[in-house]
Chain A
Amino acid sequence: MTTTTLPRPATEPVTPARHRPRTTRPIPFGRLVRVELRKMFDTRSGFWLMASVAVTAVLASGAVLMFGSEADVTYANLSAAIGVPMAIILPVIAILSVTSEWSQRSGLTTFTLVPHRGRVLLAKAVNTVHVGVAAMVVALTIGAGTNLLGAAAYGIDPVWETSLTDLSHIVLANVLGMAFGFMLGLVIRSSPAAIVGYFVYSFVIGNLLVLLATSQEWFADINRWVNFQYNQTYFFDQQIVAKDWAYLGVSSLLWLVLPLVIGAWAAMRAEVK
């Protein structure tokens, strides 16, 4: 019997046991959230930004104790003092969580491991809210501790006229600031430009609109409907009534929701060079 053994065609070798194609299950969203949270802490700059939440809360409330008088030691004063550094640090944290994927180009790996950018961006958004709320709880707890310390030092009863509702408004105002930073990160996708953009927004644009409202009567009527920055910061230290929520909601459409949609659309397509 003669058998002819044909050499195996070169392009179709038998696949050995290792490196066989396999089907994999989609990455669960909860895992993406945990990974993205880790990425907010795991660089030196990320770590110190997070740490500075606690550090500046201690410094700001310490300053009230050291340089203020007995009458200044109230929880309202302390939380207002702590709010100043928070309003700067928290939006920067939100900005960097988005822009670093482009500025540091780590998105090349992130978006290759998860080829659905919308899920990654949503995980980052969820973490922005998480971090914002957690940071404010830490900061306001430090403020409460300082209030007790100050009251004990002056030998007075601690003053707690700030209600839980007031506190939740302060947290909300900060989270909205972070959301604005997050939006800028999506739209601009460059760390320095987005941070500068945030400061221009929070220190220049809002005030310019207020100035416009004081000089132009027609604008005074609509200022609160279009001035998101004013409405957002209003929540820090004012009594909030139903109309304030309406102002906030309407002005956020123009300043937050619409640019957020445009920014997300752009970030889904933007090449990571």
Chain B
Amino acid sequence: MITVESLTKHYGGFTAVDDVSFTAATGRVTGFLGPNGAGKSTTMRVMVGLTRPTHGSVTIGGERYGDLGNPGLEVGVLLDASAQHAGRTGREILTVAARTMGLPVSRVPETLARVGLTESEAGRRVRHYSLGMRQRLGIATALIGDPHVLILDEPANGLDPAGIRWMRDLLRGFADDGGTVLLSSHLLHEIEVVADDLVVIGQGRIVAQGTKADLLASTGTLVRTPSVADLARALHEHHIVTHPTDGGLRAETEPGVVGQLALHAGVPLTELRAAEGAGLEEMFLQLTADTARETDAHEGAAA
């Protein structure tokens, strides 16, 4: 589990991250979503001790990253796939990582195979790698220590559709096996297909967070109950379409109707509210548009 508490980072007069708090839960994929320059990378750099926060803290499984004995065996990190010595071969970069962690070098070919880099590709110098190959090598570096947490900054960049599919399955499997995954992206769709939880950031501040199901539910009612099946049956008898969400249902009707039917069916509710999820995409577009406008304005001023 990753816990970010009241994290703030100033660079001179510029506030890159402004009082950010969230958790990435164990067994789940948490998507960290925001336009370019929103503060995602800075937050992730603070997580792994590369950048000192101005205020606040990050803990991983209750410990500061810098206090982990051999962090590579606990947290797999990929911040920038291009940040490698261009003159090393892919195999050598992975070997250096394995040696640093104290792992047997037999892990190197295993891990290369796991991320789909061939022997001949691994023998090439990283200077000649495509971005997709660099991403695979970066993911290999993150995975080789068999960690229980993954922190990946824009890992899908440069991957082809098959690669994105592979990445999605890999992260899903990692979380299903009890790992914690935090991945960032500036593309809503990319995150939507794999994340369980979403944290949306814009201009250094968190603008939305919650389960993907809650945030993306477009219309209708969100209802939670310990007796999901009973409630679904009651709603279906009245021809109300339902969609399962985490611990509850999204029903395509008004909250009042759901409440009335639940009362008749004798189903206890733990939560009942209007779904406001349609807002997410709009909000994200708004965030992106704001950033884009600023960029245009800067470019306009420069020209």
Contacts and interface: CB of A to CB of B under 8 A. Distances in A.
Nearest to B175: A19
Contacts of B246: 10
Interface in B88-131: 88, 92-93, 96-97, 99-102, 125
B228 A27 contact: no
Interface in A69-123: 100, 104-116
Contact of A109 (B70, B87, B97, B247): B97
B223 interface: no
Given A35-B96, A43-B88, A22 B73 contact: yes
Contacts of B65: 115
Given A9-B247, A10-B246, A39-B96, A271 B49 contact: no
Nearest to B26: A15
Given A6-B226, A39-B96, A105-B82, A18 B177 contact: yes
A7 B26 contact: no
Q: What DSSP secondary structure best describes chain A's contact surface?
A: loop
Contacts of B99: 31, 34-35, 38
Contacts of A12: 25
B98 to A, nearest CB: 10
B52 A38 contact: no
Contacts of A38: 96, 99
A20 B148 contact: yes
B77 interface: yes
B80 interface: yes
A23 B69 contact: yes
Contacts of A39: 96
Interface in B173-213: 174, 176-180, 196, 211
A165 interface: no
Nearest to A13: B27
A196 interface: no
Interface string A47-82: 000000000000000000000000000000000000
Interface of B: 25-28, 45, 48-52, 61, 65-66, 68-74, 77, 79-80, 82-88, 92-93, 96-97, 99-102, 125, 141, 146-148, 174, 176-180, 196, 211, 226-228, 246-247
Contacts of A10: 196, 211, 246-247
A74 to B, nearest CB: 40
Contact of B178 (A15, A26, A31, A110): A15
A18 to B, nearest CB: 4
Given A7-B226, A24-B70, A32-B100, A19 B174 contact: yes
A210 B196 CA distance: 70
Contacts of B227: 4
Given A10-B247, A11-B28, A24 B73 contact: yes
Nearest to A45: B87
B179 A31 contact: no
A13 to B, nearest CB: 4
A39 B87 CA distance: 11
Nearest to B176: A16
A170 B188 CA distance: 63
A272 interface: yes
Contacts of B228: 7
Given A22-B74, A25-B69, A108 B178 contact: no
Contacts of B100: 27, 31-32, 35, 110, 113-114
A42 interface: yes
A177 B57 CA distance: 42
Given A22-B148, A26-B69, A112-B77, A43 B87 contact: yes
A112 B141 CA distance: 11
Contact of B71 (A32, A108, A112): A112
A115 B85 contact: no
Contacts of A100: 85
A42 B70 contact: no
* B88, B100, B147: residue with the most chain A Cβ atoms closer than 10 Å: B100
Nearest to A25: B69
Contacts of A43: 85, 87-88
Contacts of B178: 13, 15-20
Given A13-B26, A104-B85, A106-B84, A269 B61 contact: no
Contacts of A243: none
B60 to A, nearest CB: 9
A24 B92 contact: no
16 contacts: A11-B25, A15-B178, A20-B178, A22-B74, A27-B101, A31-B100, A38-B99, A42-B88, A104-B85, A104-B86, A106-B83, A109-B93, A112-B49, A113-B101, A114-B100, A116-B66
A44 B51 CA distance: 31
A155 interface: no
A112 B70 contact: no
A18 B148 CA distance: 8
A18 B25 CA distance: 16
A32 B102 CA distance: 10
A24 B80 contact: no
Contacts of B101: 27, 113
A271 B51 contact: yes
